[in-house]
Chains A and B, each alone.
Chain A
């Protein structure tokens, strides 16, 4: 495990969950909302929100960005304070962090792009609800 990954482990992620939401018997979403691909969000098992798939996936991947950014910020702070002989070692950790950041950004952006495509392909729940009940 790289020095950056070791450091990242010290920044605990929030236990955020996102799962597909069960709509009511008529398939109705809450009034006034455009909830395509609806998800129920939970924090430590407790409901903390109701959101479209786009918001749910953006929330989860961006919270991971928060955690990684905190680890990078900590590495940069160490580099500033490091004595000259320790700089190459700290710099190595930062270079390892670069690969980690690239992988995370690719996953985060892919998740958001997929959610946008999924939202565009899905029917607006209100329309679907009206079609089924009128």
Chain B
């Protein structure tokens, strides 16, 4: 079994982690100092964490990055296989696909994740400033 296929199976095995969009947490845990723009993180309906807005965004974007890395790894492995099997036509087709689809997906995700993290950081700054003026 190839590494890529193993990763796919392992990702499927982690389907227990059904990340939901974090919801605004109405109250702070008593043992913590207030977190800026706090988000409640839930897995399959259970509240498993409370993170500040920026960290929550890093978590969500990072999960998508891992999925994308698994896909890129899968593609690279198939490309290398074509190379070892001396199949230049397939290798070149996969290379083209990597440069077009792979690069587009990666660039789009990176842009979206930077935007999302920037938005979270802006919100963080605004809320922190409001906190200071009160």
Shortest C-beta distance, B48 to chain A (Å), equals: 4
Interface size on B, residues (CB 8 A): 51
Chain A residue at minimum C-beta to C-beta distance from B60: A62
**Within 8 Å CB of B48, what residues of A?**
33-36, 51-52, 54-55
Is there contact, CB below 8 Å, between B103 and A80? yes
Partner of A101, one of B14, B50, B72: B72
Chain B residue at minimum C-beta to C-beta distance from A101: B73
Shortest C-beta distance, A103 to chain B (Å), equals: 10
Q: Per-residue CB proximity of A51-76 to B under 8 Å, as 1/0? A: 11011101101111110111011001
Most interface-central of A41, A48, A63, A112 (chain B CB within 10 A): A48
Most interface-central of B7, B35, B41 (chain A CB within 10 A): B41
A 10-30 contacts with B by CB, 8 A: 14, 16, 23-24, 29-30
Q: Interface residues of A: mostly helix, strand, loop or mixed?
A: helix
Is there contact, CB below 8 Å, between A24 and B31? yes
Partner of B109, one of A34, A41, A69: A69
Is there contact, CB below 8 Å, between A52 and B66? no
Q: Interface residues of B: mostly helix, strand, loop or mixed?
A: helix
Is there contact, CB below 8 Å, between B110 and A43? no
Q: Per-residue CB proximity of B93-123 to A under 8 Å, as 1/0? A: 0010011001100110110010000000000
Q: Does B3 contact A (CB under 8 A)?
A: yes
Partner of B76, one of A64, A79, A94: A94
Q: Quick one: given A48-B54, A50-B50, A80-B103, are A109 and B11 in contact (CB under 8 Å)?
A: yes
* Nearest 6 CB-CB pairings of A with B: A30-B29, A62-B62, A51-B49, A49-B51, A55-B49, A73-B106
